[in-house]
C-alpha cells in the first residue's frame, strides 16, 4: 500500500507511522472493541477470525504485506467485527485510526488506493469463506502453510495445532491426523508449535486452487501501481 502511494502522500503520513512488531498469537483487535490504530503490514501475517456466541472461531481472512489492518473500521468509526491476531511474526507501521481517517479524507491518492484495496479484501474474504465450505481440510491446510511461508519468507512456520484447529473450525485431532499424514508424505515436519515445510512444490500440488487465485488477486491489484 505505501509503495503504491505517491512520495508526497507517504511523506504526509510518515510523522504518524510508528514501527511495531507483530508476534504470533498477539491480539491486535478483539471483536466488539474500538479500533484505535490501523496497521500497514510490512512483513508477517495477521489472521482475521469470526467468532460465535460460545467463543469458537473460524478464519475468514488474512492480512499480509499487501494490506492495512483495521482500515474499514477506522473509516466507519465502528467497533471491530472480527478478532485479529498475529499469525506469522513480522513488522508493521501503526497509525492512529482517527489520523488515518483524516488522511484518507484529505488525500484523493490515498482514498483511491483504499477503495481498490477494500474491494479486493472483500473478494478475498469471500473466497476464503467459500474455500472453508467446499474444500477438504488437507487442501486448506496446504494453502494456509503456503500463505504463511510467503509472509514469513522461510521454511519454518510458527503454528500450533490448536491454532490451526481454531482457524479451520475443526477438532484438534483432525489437524493432528492430517499433519501426521503430510509428514509421512514428506511434505512437512512438525515440532512444538512449528511446522517446517520440506517440499514446497508438493505442498503447492496439494493446495486448492484458492492459493493461486488469492495470489493473483493481490498481484493484479498492485500491478503497475507502485509510485
49 DSSP β-pair partners: 59, 83
d(CA 198, CA 189): 7
The DSSP code sequence of 164-187 is HHHHHTS-HHHHHHHHHHHHHTTS
The position carrying cell 481517517 is 101
> Which pLDDT score, from 0 to 100, does residue 186 have?
94
As a whole number, the mean pLDDT across the chain is 87
d(CA 89, CA 92): 10
> Which pLDDT score, from 0 to 100, does residue 92 have?
95
Considering the domain delimited by 133-214, tell me its CATH architecture: Orthogonal Bundle (1.10)
Task: Tell me the pLDDT tens digit for each residue of 93-116.
Answer: 999 999 999 999 999 999 998 998
Task: Tell me the pLDDT tens digit for each residue of 71-95.
Answer: 999 999 999 988 999 888 889 999 9
Query: What grid cell was written down for 128?
Result: 476464503
The CATH classification number of 7-107 equals 2.60.120.10
Among 48-57, 172-181, 214-223, the range with the most confident prediction by mean pLDDT is 172-181
> Residue 159: which of 45, 49, 82, 12 has the closest Cα?
45
Handedness of CA 9, 41, 200, 137 (dihedral sign): negative
Give alpha helix (H) positions in 70-134: 71-76, 97-106, 108-134
Residue 185 φ/ψ, nearest 5 degrees? -80, -5
Helix (H, G, I), strand (E, B) or coil at 49: strand
d(CA 169, CA 172): 9
Query: What grid cell was written down for 46?
Result: 495477521
pLDDT over 70 for what percent of the chain?
96
Say yes or no to pLDDT of 66 above 90: no
Higher per-residue pLDDT: 193 or 19: 19
Higher per-residue pLDDT: 129 or 201: 201
Q: Residue 226 — pLDDT band, cuts 50, 70, 90? A: very low
Indicate the domain borders of the chain.
7-107, 133-214
d(CA 64, CA 99): 22
> Which pLDDT score, from 0 to 100, does residue 217 have?
83
Task: Tell me the pLDDT tens digit for each residue of 150-204.
Answer: 876 567 776 777 777 777 878 888 988 998 999 999 999 988 778 888 999 999 9
Helix (H) or strand (E) holding 95: strand 90-96
Q: What is the mean pLDDT of residues 130-146?
A: 88
Q: Residue 227 — pLDDT band, cuts 50, 70, 90? A: very low
Amino acid at each position: 500500500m505505501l509503495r503504491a502511494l505517491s512520495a508526497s502522500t507517504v511523506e504526509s503520513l510518515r510523522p504518524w507511522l510508528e514501527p511495531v512488531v507483530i508476534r504470533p498469537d498477539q491480539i491486535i483487535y478483539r471483536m466488539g472493541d474500538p479500533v484505535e490504530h490501523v496497521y500497514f503490514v510490512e512483513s508477517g501475517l495477521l489472521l482475521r477470525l469470526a467468532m460465535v456466541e460460545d467463543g469458537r472461531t473460524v478464519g475468514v481472512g488474512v492480512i499480509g504485506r499487501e494490506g492495512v489492518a483495521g482500515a474499514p473500521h477506522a473509516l466507519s468509526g465502528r467497533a471491530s467485527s472480527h478478532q485479529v491476531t498475529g499469525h506469522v511474526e513480522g513488522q508493521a507501521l501503526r497509525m492512529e485510526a482517527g489520523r488515518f481517517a483524516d488522511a484518507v479524507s484529505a488525500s484523493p491518492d490515498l482514498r483511491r488506493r483504499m477503495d481498490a484495496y477494500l474491494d479486493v479484501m472483500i473478494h478475498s474474504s469471500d473466497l476464503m469463506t467459500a474455500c472453508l465450505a467446499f474444500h477438504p481440510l488437507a487442501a486448506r491446510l496446504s494453502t494456509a502453510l503456503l500463505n504463511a511461508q510467503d509472509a514469513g519468507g522461510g521454511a519454518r512456520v510458527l503454528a500450533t495445532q490448536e491454532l490451526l484447529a481454531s482457524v479451520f473450525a475443526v477438532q484438534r485431532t483432525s489437524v493432528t491426523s492430517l499433519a501426521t499424514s503430510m509428514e509421512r508424505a514428506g511434505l512437512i515436519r512438525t515440532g512444538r508449535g512449528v511446522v517446517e515445510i520440506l517440499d514446497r512444490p508438493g505442498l503447492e500440488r496439494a493446495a486448492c486452487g484458492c492459493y493461486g487465485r488469492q495470489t493473483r488477486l493481490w498481484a493484479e491489484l498492485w500491478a503497475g501501481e507502485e509510485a
